[in-house]
Amino acid sequence: MRASVTITGSLEKVFDDWSDQNARRLTDITEHAASTMREEMRSAMSGAGLGNLGRALGYAAYPGGGTYSFHPAAEVFVRGRAPSARRWERIIDAFNEGATIRSKRGWLAIPTKNCPKGSRGRFLTPDQVAERFGPLRSVAKGRVVLLFADVVAGKSGGVRRATSGRIAQGREAKLILMFVLVRETTIRKRLDLDAIVARWQTRYPAMIADAVRER
């Protein structure tokens, strides 16, 4: 996802005084517009219950580096190297447009609230959960498959792998639902980032007009 806002027409007709001060003003306005648009998108994501997804968004202003221009530009984009950025772009686009997701391997594993998270705050995969708690048990239920882990209560809280030694200590083993496997899942539209961009298509030229009146 990349978002940019432009104005049409000749700035030469708007700024009759081609001074460094006006170039700086125009460049600063453009950077401020991009920064504020990004924050509005982040707020929309947070308000839609998407947690910290907005942190994936960055912005850049040109020419940058403390230089100014009468032809500045700025954009809001998904940060990261190409493979990672494309992944987050697809996620954001899915919430912005709605999407049906299908697994290339046949099943999608949807973690439950019982599924542990890793160091980066992401849910563990079924393989990672199996590595921590032992082989998962599967139960077919209609069109879905439920994956359970054998666990016992931990002495200091949480749950631990249900080993024979821990069971011998008198700790009761129980099954906890970790994942629901489905063939496909539908993500409903939860964002309207296009509306934010559309508002800035009007707001940005208005900011330029205000700057001209203030000269």
3-state secondary structure (DSSP) of residue 31: helix
pLDDT at 113: 93
Label residue 104 by pLDDT band (50, 70, 90): confident
pLDDT at 214: 67
Question: Is the pLDDT score of 3 beyond 80?
Answer: no
- Among the residue ranges 17-31, 60-74, 115-129, the one predicted with the least confidence is 17-31
Percent of the chain, pLDDT > 70?
Answer: 90
pTM over 0.75: no
Average pLDDT, the chain: 87
Angstrom distance (rounded) from CA 116 to CA 104: 24
Asked if residue 34 lies in contact with residue 61, where contact means CB atoms within 8 angstroms, the answer is yes
Look-up of token digits 């208005």: 206
On the question of a cis peptide bond just before residue 205, with omega within 30 degrees of 0, the verdict is: no
Model confidence over 161-215: pLDDT tens digits? 988 888 888 888 899 999 999 999 999 999 999 999 999 999 998 888 887 666 6
Look-up of token digits 């001209």: 212
Label residue 33 by pLDDT band (50, 70, 90): very high
Amino acid, res. 180: V
Contacts of 175 (CB under 8 A, 6+ apart): 137, 148, 149, 150, 151
Domain ranges of the chain: 2-98+189-214, 100-186
CA atoms within 13 A on the CB side of 64: 8
